[in-house]
Structure 1
Amino acid sequence: MRKYKLGLDIEKIDRIISRDMDAHMMKTIDGDKLTVSQAYVIDFILTSQKEDIFQKDLEKEFDLKRAAISLMLNNMEKNDLIKRVPVSEDARLKKIVLTEKSIALSTKIIGAVDEIEHTLVENLTQEEIDNFYTVLNKMRNSLSKRKG
């Protein structure tokens, strides 16, 4: 019987998916002076169910440290892709708002993400996808308990 190495297999598929997604996204946004990570941030903001998106939401979604997200947002702001707007309840909090420039790019970005997602699931049933997420969440929870 084969001894599975789930961590290693997940890492391998992660690299394959990342390379493919990044290459497809780069081809899609080529010439738009936008990084792949910035494209994913725009996609997240556009497709999020939350009304207001804050830096902490991006840190959680992309599992990145505060400094890394802050640097990315600073660059996005310099390139007129986002604005940080204070909220009335707490002047320290700034929601992240897409600019007209990033909204104009959104069709290309969402199309590229959707195309990759379609490729990933095209041979899977809905039940298989649901089971995959059940297992994925159990693994994530196990790792979270180990950290804490």
Structure 2
Amino acid sequence: MPVRHLETPDRYLGPRIKFLYHAFNRKFMETARANGVEELTSMHGRILGYLYWSRPKDVYQKDIEEHFNITRSSVAGIVKLMEQKGYILRQSVQGDARLKKLSLTDLGTRACEQSMEAFHHVEGLAIRGLSPEQVETFLSLCDAIQTNLIPQKECAHAKNHSVPSQGV
């Protein structure tokens, strides 16, 4: 398929996707703050969601690295801050002190649930006026674009990146 060089930049996918992401994220953060969730970044929310939806399975820092495709040092810093704020517990595993099991605290569970409420509210705003068929078409197109940009063999967990139930 030929590239559409003659179209104006507002008709390109990349800038439009970035704009939608930022607009969604801004509205989400605004709604989350109104619900009393003040200190979480969007990555903290996604990690809380991942831990929430992974229960009762054990989750380790390495799982976070792989699922979100972020470096060990980034995960260590994020987890340390989330632990300091009281959202998660990080526990050494018997027999391997390097392995850190992560779990939600009561505060983390409440923050996650409040974040999910905000997420669902913004999701509803985003699809307002769209038919179920239009939403399904949009999601199918997103899946196709994702497959084009991140082939499954390159990123084994790429399918997880689009699953909102695994993070907020």
Which interval holds the TM-score relative to the shorter structure? 0.7 to 0.9
In the superposition, relative to structure 1, how do residues 132 and 37 fare at CA in structure 2: closer, same or farther (>3 Å)? closer
Structure 2 regions of 5+ residues with no counterpart? 156-168
Partners of 1:22 and 1:56 in 2: CA distance: 29
Shift of 1:120: 4.7
Q: Check the 8 A contact 1:26/1:36 in 2, yes or no.
A: no
Q: Check the 8 A contact 1:82/1:97 in 2, yes or no.
A: yes
For 1:144, what is the secondary structure of its paired residue?
Answer: coil
Structure 1 regions of 5+ residues with no counterpart? none
The within-5 A match list for 1:1-148 is: 3=4, 9-29=13-33, 32-48=38-54, 51-88=57-94, 90-120=96-126, 123=130, 124-126=134-136, 128-141=138-151, 144=154
Q: How many percent identity over aligned positions? A: 19
Shift of 1:89: 6.3
One-letter amino acid matched to 1:141: P
Whichever structure has more helix as a proportion of its residues is: 1
Partners of 1:110 and 1:135 in 2: CA distance: 26
For 1:95, what is the secondary structure of its paired residue?
Answer: strand
Partners of 2:50 and 2:148 in 1: CA distance: 23
Partners of 1:12 and 1:135 in 2: CA distance: 13
User: What per-residue deviation string (whole Å, max 9, x for no partner) do you get for residues 8-64 of structure 1?
Assistant: 623541343134224422441356333232122111211237712221222222222
User: What per-residue deviation string (whole Å, max 9, x for no partner) do you get for residues 89-139 of structure 1?
Assistant: 644322110111111222211112223344455632435524531441242
Report the RMSD for the aligned CA atoms in angstroms.
3.2
After the TM superposition, which segments of 4 or more aligned residues of structure 1 sit over 6 Å from their partners?
A: none
State the TM-score, normalizing by the size of structure 2. Answer: 0.66
One-letter amino acid matched to 1:113: F
Q: Check the 8 A contact 2:82/2:88 in 1, yes or no.
A: yes
State the TM-score, normalizing by the size of structure 1. Answer: 0.73
Q: Which moves more between the two structures, 130-139 or 50-59?
A: 130-139
What is the count of residue pairs matched by the alignment? 143
One-letter amino acid matched to 1:112: A
Q: Which moves more between the two structures, 47-56 or 101-110?
A: 47-56
For 1:116, what is the secondary structure of its paired residue?
Answer: helix
